[in-house]
Amino acid sequence: MLHAVGHGREAEAIATFQQGTYRPEPVEHKAFIQMLIDIKAYDLASAVALTVYSQNKRSLDNIISAARAELYCQRPDNAIQIASDGAAALGPNPHLHFIVGLAMMSVGSLDKAGSVIQAALQMQEVPIGFAYLGEVLRLMGRIDEATACHERCFKAGCIDAEAYLLAGNTYYDAGHIGKAISHYEKAVLTKRHYIDAHDTLNKALWEHGEHTNFLKSFDVAIKKLPSLLDLRLRQVYFRILAGKLDDAAKQLEDCLSAFGPNARIYAELAGVKKQLDKNFDALPLYAKAYELNAKDVGMLKAYGRTLIGAEQYGRAAEILTECKAIGDFDQECLAFLAAANTHVNAGAAERVNDYDELVQIFELDPPAGHNTLADFNAALLRALQPHHLSEAAPIDQTLVLGTQTHGMLFNKADAEIKQLETQLRGCIAQYIQHLQKVGPNEIKDRISESFDFSGAWSVQLSDGGYHRDHVHSAGWISSVYYVEVPADLDEGAHEGWLKFGDAHFDPKNTGPHRFVKPVPGRLVLFPSYMLHGTVPIEAGKRRTTVAFDVVPH
């Protein structure tokens, strides 16, 4: 089982565990499950943790491990239930309260999360609890209080990798970039296999021009843990994003030699070789990946998109339909399936990509205390500016030549940002009412009594900046609100305009199918699966926006 998960075959590892007799000893299972969480083998962590928990529901370690695994599998209600049952059976315990607080934090209930974690710390001042409270306060925009919590955590002797990572996030938001990077480095030194820490560290290094140390944490970790494929594939991912395609291809070939046939390796290698040579036939490699694991959603999306590029639209629709059956809310899958259906089932494509009905425009009113919308946008721009801390676009986003804020923008303490959120909520409610009447089932079936934000951020385009065409994988409804727009945009060329339906990976693409002019104070709402991008602006011009994703709640 360990060999299988180390080699990137998590489904096989789960089957081996479920069919076999191996069960971790009580003294080792907590660390084992945490290791699986650290390398993002969440499904296996849950399978192991829930099995061990079912055998002894009065073991505190079993309860904590099962609840944490469910939390990382994005099942916060399950995590809360397990922790609550544990408290009922064993009595109040700070670690169980921490689980409940983290679950509440994961769904955006920050006030409740903070109260629960504070109650846990009143029971017992467990050092890691101060790190959790610090993260809640950071998300609420209370950076000074968050910093004090992290300092208290470390003064109490905490050397937990998670605490270093959370502290780094707070220092980053405070503008102490060097201190943030130092704490990210401590996190990966403490746990070489901690993939989230590697990710956060290398994103920060890239955005702040420290390319000398970029990816070195992976080099050290891989040398220490050569049998862990996930570390190697994660480094490949960053190499691809950084345009180091030759290095990525070589590393993938080395992975094939070291680990043997593997669906994830074949799929990544197919994509890299296609980028290196547009005439390369990537389909045989995808076919090998598909034969090894036909349930991998990421592989299926890449395979389907490549089939579209080869004009094999019928087969692409088949593969992407299989993908949709596995991940029915996967926004990329919906976008690619619509692109394939444009050629094999035009009615289905038009139903989900009705650009006239599903792309809606709202003109905001000035919030209370502001005479005009221009006055409000000027104040909002001043509030947003200090949150643009990076020197370059995020390496893992679609932004080219510009900056993007970190974290949940609507959790910042600035009054103007709070006012904007209030204005936006009214427009979103109107849009959802519209979707109830005209939306396709892919979006209408998810409508619930309420909604919340899964993310919010601000973007500044500059020096020829733009967004590559993309979808929002974490959303259901997506958006752009224009705060600052250059006055001298070339309307004839749609400079800086939002564009929809430009499926550039399709040789027979006829998009874009709709443009929207950027106007200060204008809000555009659309389904998260809808392909969209931005026409580049000229150098010397700047455009500032706020964007967010909405999910049913």
Q: How confident is the model at residue 35 (pLDDT cuts 50, 70, 90)?
A: confident
Q: Do 306 and 410 lie in a common domain?
A: no
pLDDT for 195-221, tens place per residue? Answer: 999 999 999 999 999 999 999 999 999
Range of the domain at 303: 294-352
Q: How confident is the model at residue 421 (pLDDT cuts 50, 70, 90)?
A: very high
Least Cα distance to 160 among 130, 187, 126, 125 occurs for 187
Q: Do 346 and 368 lie in a common domain?
A: no
Distance, in Å, from the CA atom of 253 to the CA atom of 274, rounded to the nearest integer, reads 15
Q: Is the pLDDT of residue 21 over 80?
A: no
Task: Please state the domain count of the chain.
Answer: 2
Q: Do 544 and 403 lie in a common domain?
A: yes
Is 271 among the domain residues? no
Q: Do 335 and 362 lie in a common domain?
A: no
Mean pLDDT of the chain: 93
Distance, in Å, from the CA atom of 282 to the CA atom of 268, rounded to the nearest integer, reads 10
Q: Do 378 and 463 lie in a common domain?
A: yes
Number of helices and strands in the chain (H, E): 26, 9
Amino acid at 310: A
Give the DSSP letter of residue 214. T
Least Cα distance to 409 among 304, 308, 548 occurs for 548
For range 98-117, the mean pLDDT: 94
> End-to-end distance of the chain based on CA atoms, in angstroms?
37
Q: Is the pLDDT of residue 266 over 90?
A: yes
- Residue 405's SS3 state is coil
Q: Scanning the structure block, which residue is given the tokens 């480094």? A: 235
Q: Do 431 and 523 lie in a common domain?
A: yes
Q: Do 516 and 407 lie in a common domain?
A: yes
Q: Do 329 and 475 lie in a common domain?
A: no
Which pLDDT belongs to residue 23?
58
Q: Is the pLDDT of residue 25 over 80?
A: no
Give the CATH number of the domain where residue 395 resides. Answer: 2.60.120.620
Name the pTM for this structure.
Answer: 0.90
Is 376 among the domain residues? yes
Tokens standing for residue 465: 């900046």
Q: Do 501 and 525 lie in a common domain?
A: yes
Q: Are strands 451-467 and 399-404 parallel, antiparallel or unpaired?
A: antiparallel
Choosing from 352, 384, 419, the residue where a domain stops is: 352
Is 158 among the domain residues? no
pLDDT for 230-265, tens place per residue? Answer: 999 999 999 999 999 999 999 999 999 999 999 999
Which pLDDT belongs to residue 463?
84
Choosing from 325, 352, 379, the residue where a domain stops is: 352
Q: Do 416 and 520 lie in a common domain?
A: yes
Which pLDDT belongs to residue 427?
97
Distance, in Å, from the CA atom of 195 to the CA atom of 167, rounded to the nearest integer, reads 17
Choosing from 329, 352, 375, the residue where a domain stops is: 352
Is 523 among the domain residues? yes
Q: Is the pLDDT of residue 26 over 60?
A: no
Is 64 among the domain residues? no
Is 121 among the domain residues? no
Is 439 among the domain residues? yes
pLDDT for 122-139, tens place per residue? Answer: 999 999 999 999 999 999
Is 157 among the domain residues? no
Distance, in Å, from the CA atom of 239 to the CA atom of 250, rounded to the nearest integer, reads 11
Instruction: Quote the percentage of the chain above a pLDDT of 90.
Output: 86
Distance, in Å, from the CA atom of 527 to the CA atom of 331, rounded to the nearest integer, reads 9
Q: Do 311 and 426 lie in a common domain?
A: no
Q: Is the pLDDT of residue 10 over 90?
A: no
Q: Do 409 and 325 lie in a common domain?
A: no
For range 355-371, the mean pLDDT: 96
